[in-house]
Amino acid sequence: MTSITVIALLAAYAWFATWTGFLVVASAKRVRDEGLAIPHGGRMVVYIWLLLGGPGDVLYNLIIGTATYKELPRELLFSHRIERLANGPAGWRRDKALPLAMVLNAADDNHIDIYDAK
């Protein structure tokens, strides 16, 4: 297997694990915040996605985040990078990060703190 194939497979895993994991965990958080109990089977799904999504998020930040924002990550997780860029100086990186921050916040309220969204 070539290194390009390995990177492509890791990027695909990272993309899938990060986005599906984020949605599963954000949904579970919303249920918990409403005071409802998550059944044991549901909690098991959340734990599995935390285990798969955590490393996926790190890979997503490293591979896809680096390619998208043309900089090496300063943070471990992608949403922390998005928060830094969305609150950073005006420019193309901020312009790309702000819409994504809005999407993340739509799925998980206040996931990304946006201090000065112009």
pLDDT of residue 110 exceeding 60: yes
Residue 115 lies in a domain: no
Confirm if 65 and 73 have CB atoms less than 8 A apart: yes
Residue 118 lies in a domain: no
Q: What is the pLDDT of residue 85?
A: 97
Residue 64 lies in a domain: yes
Residue 117 lies in a domain: no
Q: Which domain, by its residues, includes 101? A: 3-107
d(C-alpha 112, C-alpha 101), whole Å: 6
Q: What is the pLDDT of residue 118?
A: 53
Residue 45 lies in a domain: yes
Residue 102 lies in a domain: yes
How many domains are contained in the chain? 1
What pLDDT digit, counting tens, does each position of 55-84 carry?
A: 999 999 999 999 999 999 999 999 999 999
pTM above 0.85, yes or no: no
Token pair 């949605």 in the structure block, residue? 23
Residue 114 lies in a domain: no
